Amino acid sequence: MHSTPGENSEPKGDPKGDLKHRRQQAMAALSEASAPEMARLLAQVGPVPEHHQLRKAESGLIMMRGRIGGDGAPFNVGEVTVSRAAVQLATGEIGFGYVLGRDKEKAQLIAYCDALMQRSEWQDALERIVLGPIRKRLRMARAAKAEQAAATKVEFFTLVRGEG
């Protein structure tokens, strides 16, 4: 299969490609949730598999890079704090969690959710009980913000005084 740069190189029907996409979507939602919210929702899932820490949650600095206009030459914006963690389920799946800031608990919870997403028997429960409510809250917050911005919109028009 031929793909252009930036396209997903996985075939459309490939379950590994689907898993990769589901994990990316889950990480995007979880990155915007708080640690207490994730912990509360995970507790509602019920008994979950045992896990151990491969990499204890830790914080450090990374260099943030940017591009002007999104397509200019890359440049160093500055350093940002990042927390990361890695966990392994008793069944062997490894999950990773990276978050901006120093919230080690959040990185740990994201890593645990990432590992669970790799188990087919946990994907639906995570989607329904954890990710669904987070995504709904995020959609509602974005809609409220858009509504608030729309209320302040000013429409300008020009009156034409006449010819010449």
Q: Is residue 125 part of a domain?
A: yes
For residues 52 and 87, is the Cβ–Cβ distance under 8 A?
yes
Averaged pLDDT for residues 129-145: 94
Residue type, 67: R
Q: Is residue 159 part of a domain?
A: no
pLDDT at residue 1 is higher than 50: no
pLDDT at residue 100 is higher than 90: yes
> Whole-model pTM?
0.76
Domain residues for 95?
Answer: 15-136
Q: Is residue 130 part of a domain?
A: yes
Q: At what angle do helices 104-117 and 15-31 cross, to 10 degrees?
A: 160
Q: Is residue 29 part of a domain?
A: yes
For residues 38 and 131, is the Cβ–Cβ distance under 8 A?
no
The overall average pLDDT reported for the chain is 86
- pLDDT tens track for 2-22: 333 334 444 455 566 788 999
Confidence band, pLDDT 50/70/90 cuts, at residue 47: confident
